[in-house]
Structures are given as structure tokens and as C-alpha cells.
Amino acid sequence: MPSDHTAALTYSSYLALDEILGAQRPRSEEHDEMLFIVIHQVYELWFKQLLHELAHLQRRLEAGDAPHALTTLKRILTILKTIVAQIDVLETMTPRQFTSFRGRLDAASGFQSMQFRELEAVLGRRDAGVLEHYAQESEARERLAAAMARPSLFDSFLRYLDGRGFAVPAAALDRDVAEAYAPSEGVQRALLDAYRDDGEAAQICERLVDFDEGMQEWRYRHVKMVERTIGDKTGTGGSSGAAYLRSTLFQAAFPDLWAVRSEL
């Protein structure tokens, strides 16, 4: 029995449904604004889970735990497929329906999603310019700066390969992780050795390629959704909209894994 000062746990209280279901606050009377809010809130929840899983994946890789790393990668890839599929729901909203409430968004923009920027940092992006979207000394800015100062997912993978005896160059292992990663012929030779070994290391290589490809697919679907909704109009918050999003297409997170494809 619960104590006098502790309420019985329920489905609603465990999931904090009062808070979650009360977090949709449209700024207009337009029917479609609710969909827009819900979709983006769900994205942020999935980004939170991806960051949680990626942190676990990095720990498993650095511990040399390939089986659990592969299991975590499977979950990450499944979440990513779900995120991509959500764009189908958003695309049920026509340009006129979006325009009906777009003006109420003021300066709010997806470019301000700290969690997506943190996800990019985990994948190796190092761009201090993105910090300018967040106020000085804000929690979001400090969290993002910390993410860009930590080892990326690929750094953790290189440590895993080194621990398995593959000849990863010391320059790659000891590099300044706060700087952008540069493709390395020495790393590519180690990757080829991992593929030839045809064991768990090769499987992890392929799942990382799947992840990289999935992120590029998400970017492509995102830019096409923006193009069909607002064309080449300026994005909310004064962003360049589709023009910027197009510039991010086909930028590999793990370039060495793509560079070795012709040698396999």
C-alpha cells in the first residue's frame, strides 16, 4: 500500500501525461497548427532518445562490447526510420494550410533545435557558428559547446578498432576532438582490415554506414518537405529555408567508411 504522503503510481502519473498533453498550445484557431506542434514535439522526444542511445553506444564501443553496440545500433536505426516516416504525416498539410498560421511562429525556427544540433555534434560536426543561435551562458549553449568538445561517435569507434588490434594511426586516436575530423588514409587501411576480418567489427562498420545513409535520407526528405510547403521563401526566424537545407545534403558523417567502398 502507498504511504499517506505518496500518491499511488498510475499510467498517467508515470508518463506525466498531464504535462505532455498540456504542452500543445496553438497560437491560432487554425485546425492544422495542432498537427505542426505535435509532430515537432515528437521529433524532439525522438532526438532525446537518439542522444540517449548514442551515448550508450559510445560507452559500449569504448568498452569493446561489440554485441551490445550492435544491438544499440539496431535500435538507433529503427528510430531513425520512424523519424523519416513522420515526414509523411507532416506532408498531409498543404502550403495554404501552413500559411494560415505560419505568421504566428514569429522567430521560432527548427534551426533553434538544440537537440538536433547536439546530434550533429555527436556525429562529428564542429561549427562554433551554431552557438550564435543561443543566448550567452544559456543552458542550451553550454550543453552544445560541451557536446562539440567531447569525442564523436566515430572517435569512439576508432578506439574500439584500436582495442581489437586494428592499426588505427596514433594521430587519429590522439587528435583534438574539438576540431573537425579529417579523412585519413591510415584509418581507411584499418577499416579495410576490419572488413577483411569479416567479424563483428565489419558488422559495426556496416551499421554505421546505414546510420550515415539514414541521416542523409532524413535530410533529403526534410528539404523536399520544406520545398513543397514554402518553396524558396525565407524560412521562419529569418533562416534561408530550403536553400540552407539543400547545402547540407550528401555530407557524410563518416567519410572514411564511404571512401573504402571501392576497395571492398
**Three-state helix/strand/coil letters over the chain:** CCCCCCCCCCHHHHCCHHHHHCCCCCCCCCCCHHHHHHHHHHHHHHHHHHHHHHHHHHHHHHCCCHHHHHHHHHHHHHHHHHHHHHHHHHCCCCHHHHHHHHHHHCCCCHHHCHHHHHHHHHCCCCCHHHHHHCCCCCHHHHHHHHHHHCCCHHHHHHHHHHHCCCCCCHHHHCCCCCCCCCCCHHHHHHHHHHHHHCCHHHHHHHHHHHHHHHHHHHHHHHHHHHHHHHCCCCCHHHCCCHHHHHHCCCCCCCHHHHHCHHHC
The tens-digit pLDDT sequence of the chain (264 residues) is: 445 556 789 999 999 999 999 999 999 999 999 999 999 999 999 999 999 999 999 999 999 999 999 999 999 999 999 999 999 999 999 999 988 988 888 656 666 889 999 999 999 999 998 898 899 999 999 999 999 999 999 999 999 999 999 999 999 999 999 999 999 999 999 999 999 998 999 999 999 999 999 999 999 998 888 888 877 766 554 455 566 677 777 889 999 999 999 998
The three cell numbers locating residue 89: 504525416
Determine the Cα–Cα distance for residues 156 and 168; give it in Å rounded to an integer. 12
How many Å separate Cα 72 from the centre of its chain?
15
pLDDT for the residue numbered 244: 67
Determine the Cα–Cα distance for residues 154 and 111; give it in Å rounded to an integer. 24
Cβ atoms within 10 Å of 185's Cβ, excluding its own: 10
pLDDT for the residue numbered 1: 47
Q: How far apart are the first and last CA of the chain?
A: 62
Kind and range of the H or E run holding 13: helix 11-14
* Contact residues for 196 (Cβ-Cβ < 8 A; gap 6+): none
The three cell numbers locating residue 234: 525565407
Distances, alpha carbon 124 to alpha carbons 29, 45, 152, 198, 230, in Å: 41, 21, 5, 26, 30
Length of the chain equals: 264
pLDDT for the residue numbered 216: 94
In contact, 85 and 218? CB cutoff 8 Å: no
